[in-house]
Every structure is written in C-alpha cells, then in structure tokens.
Amino acid sequence: MKRTELEKELVRVSEGGKYPIICDTSPCLATVKAELQSKELAFSLYDPVTFVSVVLADRLEFTQKKKSVAVHVPCSSKKLGAEATFLSVAGLCSESVVPTGIPCCGMGGDRGMRYPELTAASLQHLPELKNTCSDGYSNSRTCEMSLSNHSGVHFKGLIQLVDECTQPKAAARAK
C-alpha cells in the first residue's frame, strides 16, 4: 500500500522524526496526518505556515512590506488547528490582514475544476477584495486558483509572502 511505503520513507528520511518534514499544501498534510500510523512522525510533519511559526520565526526578521492582504485559511488548515497561526504569520508581513470570511472555497480537491458551479456557489458571498487588498494568500493551490478566479485579487501561497518579507536575523547571518 502506498500510504505504508510513504510513511516508511518519511520515517527513514527524517531519521525517526528527528528532522521536520514540510508538506507544501495543507490538504496533502491533512491527508497524510489522518492516515498516520507512525508515532515517530506525529510531531515532525508541518505545513509551510506552521513550519515558519514553529521553526523559523525566531531565526527571521519580518518586515511588513504589504499594506493590506487578503487571507483564506483552507478547510484543511482549519481542521489542523492552524487558523490563528496562519493569520499571525500573515500579520508579521502586512499592516492589515483581511480574512476572506469564506468557510470553504468549494474546490473540494479538484471537484471545483470539473463542476465550476461548486466554487461559484461557495464564493458567492466573497467580500470585495480588489479595492482593499494588493494580494491574497492561502495554503492550497486549488483554493488559490478558485479565489483568484472569483475575487479579482491574485492568490498565492502564504510562504511566498513570508519569503518576500523576511531575511535571516543578524545572528543567523553571522554563522
């Protein structure tokens, strides 16, 4: 079974959970964590936003380079309990963080691509963002596509905002 093979390989490459593993989107991470059998990996798997908060925040200098950004926390990030972390990290990079207020973008993995009426219905109450926010950020490629198509604001991964608004702390640069 592929899940078992993946888990075995993650245990091996992380040396039994010693090193963190970052899964680039929260839906993938939520799926892996839901099926996880290995106790060694329980505290070693991160989405990019939680990794920034838990592992990197103390090593980075943040600059609020954006005036106002929109943020959509994917369903999977909410289920993983990362909503506050998501908003906090975005707040380190922007003077104002505007949550979309949408509980779900309607993509449901790739279903929104096959049935666009799902995203249209789910996002019908999406607030006007293009006049208040320069950019939008999320943690799921499919959510980002859906929100970009319906909001008039380009959504991308929050880790891109972190990359744009950080540099290593002076002590870290000296090493």
pLDDT score for 172: 56
pLDDT score for 174: 59
Q: Hey, what amino acid is at 89?
A: V
Listed as ranges, residues in the chain with pLDDT below 70 are 171-175
Rounded to whole angstroms, the Cα distance separating 72 from 142 reads 12
pLDDT score for 79: 86
What residue ranges of the chain are covered by domains with CATH 3.40.50?
63-165
Distance between alpha carbon 45 and the CA centroid of its chain, in Å? 13
pLDDT in tens, 76-91: 888 888 899 999 999 9
Strand extents, DSSP E, the chain: 21-22, 45-46, 60-62, 66-71, 94-99, 135-138, 155-157, 166-168
Instruction: Kindly indicate whether the domain formed by 63-165 is annotated with CATH number 3.40.50.
Output: yes
Regarding pTM above 0.75, the answer is yes
Strand extents, DSSP E, 63-144: 66-71, 94-99, 135-138
Rounded to whole angstroms, the Cα distance separating 114 from 166 reads 38
pLDDT score for 69: 96
Contact 156, 144 (CB under 8 A): yes
Q: Which two tokens stand for residue 166?
A: 């950080």
